[in-house]
Amino acid sequence: MEKTVTEAIAYRRSVRVFKQAVEIEDKKVKACIENAVLAPTSSNLQLWEFYHVTESEALKRLTQACLGQNAAKTAKQLVVVVTRKDLWRQRAKANVEFLKETLGNKPKAEYDRREKFAFAYYQKVIPSIYFDFLGIVGWFRFAVFQLIGLFRPIYKQVRNSDMRIVAHKSAGLAAQNFMVSMAAIGYDTCPMEGSDTGRVKKILGLPWGAEINMVIGCGVKDEKGIYAPRFRVPFETVYRKV
């Protein structure tokens, strides 16, 4: 029986060793990735891709790229979460096309104020934030927005590095959706940051603009797969009610 959200969150642990005698089903892992893409994402740009790795030779090569750690070496499958900030133009265009489909492709004057804003957001605001050239435009934009911010509230994270962070935050939210979904059906995972990301990109045939967010080992946990009891600092030290 599938776990509740709270049960799945409590069940999820970073498993370092997976059972070798127990296989996991491709279609179930794929269904969990389908849950991943339902995660919230900045401006609905969905600047992510998910590589579901099941082929033995690719798993072997990725294990080496993940520095040979057990969570990769014993994994039955791997899911690589990739950010694609470089695809912002295509994703913005896709949002515009979706708006036309849902609102109707009609003359601009026939759209109401909110609908016009939605189109302007993807056709003007997103390009003004994401377009950059060697980081120069981003720093100029940052300086202008800092100046405006002296007089009124304004979004100031507009450099190329800021946009990279935005893409990785969205990818992280999607990765958590995936891991909780896996936990709900009794599958285990381990998110790994320790990897040679350049090698991972080469193995997957990724372009220069793609970035590795994390590699997630997948399987069913071995009896010795969890190295230690769960530790969290006391809730009172991180919780602030304002």
Rounded to whole angstroms, how far apart are CA atoms 112 and 94?
Answer: 21
Q: Provide the pLDDT for residue 136.
A: 82
Q: What is the pLDDT along the chain (242 residues), one digit of tens a residue?
A: 899 999 999 999 999 999 999 999 999 999 999 999 999 999 999 999 999 999 999 999 999 999 999 999 999 999 999 999 999 999 999 999 999 999 998 998 999 999 999 999 999 999 989 988 877 887 888 888 788 888 988 788 878 889 999 999 999 999 999 999 999 999 999 999 999 999 999 999 999 999 999 999 999 999 999 999 999 999 999 999 99
Q: Provide the pLDDT for residue 142.
A: 82
Rounded to whole angstroms, how far apart are CA atoms 66 and 238?
Answer: 31
Q: Provide the pLDDT for residue 219.
A: 98
The two most distant CA atoms of the chain are separated, in Å, by 65
Q: Provide the pLDDT for residue 235.
A: 98
Q: What is the DSSP string of 197-222?
A: HHHHHHHHT--TT-EEEEEEEEE-B-
Assign 42 to helix, strand or coil.
helix
Amino acid identity, position 155: Y
Classify residue 72 as left (phi > 0), alpha (psi -120 to 50) or beta. alpha
| Closest CA relative to residue 183, chosen from 229, 214, 219, 213 | 219
* Model pTM score: 0.93
| Closest CA relative to residue 120, chosen from 149, 140, 92, 152 | 92
Q: Provide the pLDDT for residue 16.
A: 97
Rounded to whole angstroms, how far apart are CA atoms 92 and 43?
Answer: 9
DSSP state at residue 37:
T
CATH of 5-85+162-221, one of 2.60.120.200, 2.40.50.140, 1.20.120.1230, 3.40.109.10: 3.40.109.10
For the chain, domain boundaries:
5-85+162-221
User: What are 51's strand-pairing partners?
Assistant: 80
